Structure 1
């Protein structure tokens, strides 16, 4: 699970808290977090897709929708899970007489960034197809070849998607929080004054 965790300078909210209704302030904070997390999730989806080497539409089933804030919990989160993506669904993957040539873990890096398996072949089973290779000289067992999971693309420490999500969330929240506070002040008929910059 990837949770939006951004440190806020509480002193900058103090001035607004003295004039805004408690419910109004909380609503403004919730809107800022939800909208920031939504925008950051879109960036994360794009980077996950780039890392795997598959279209965003193909990896979306492996990424949950955003769990938005509630009145009692100012947390926004989503999960990236295991999802089998056939290696031939990644861009540039080729399977021919020379075997399989493909790549995944393209942005973050990893063991499959340059994948070549000479003995790989196509298997037709249960109404579908997948690339496999034999793990021994025997006919069985076979091992399927799949792209990186979305959960791996987001969950690895320092993964490109994780870094992009955090950076975008922080950027969005820094921009949206004052905007949402201003909207709430106007909605409550109060004048807007930006809090002093104490940095």
Structure 2
């Protein structure tokens, strides 16, 4: 949905499960604004780079889009101050620290249209990073669903294929599956985690 770009806006694309199309939807929205002759910049935390070392974001289905990889939300604010893009898109927002919340608020207050894509929960079923706060501040929220790889129902949870050894483990199909609540819970029970 296109918004009037004469004022700030926070648009969050989220899902409880991986493989729901968050990055694909973010790229689609950015391309739509570029076609409407708006300027845009896409950001992603450096730790979330996947599938390539190029300065792009890559969806799990292979869709690519130019991006700037950063270590801190302050780099996004700095970029916006200098380049003044109409649209600022942030992929894998759950990996940024809490400073992203105030950064996004400041960007929207300055009149930027901010699109955020992020996973709302961890594979343990807990809120992921700063996503709960971003969801609370959003002007618009789109919740996407994957497909449970076990039963085919809508997936709402990321399931770690092996017990995690770190709090945050970035990965794709080699480490995680999309599952519905029932199949996620059964998998965790089989490992003695639930």
Sort the TM-score into its range (normalised by shorter chain). Answer: under 0.3
Whichever structure has more helix as a proportion of its residues is 1
Q: Which has the higher strand share?
A: 2
TM-score (norm 2): 0.25
The TM-score, its normalising length taken from structure 1, stands at 0.25
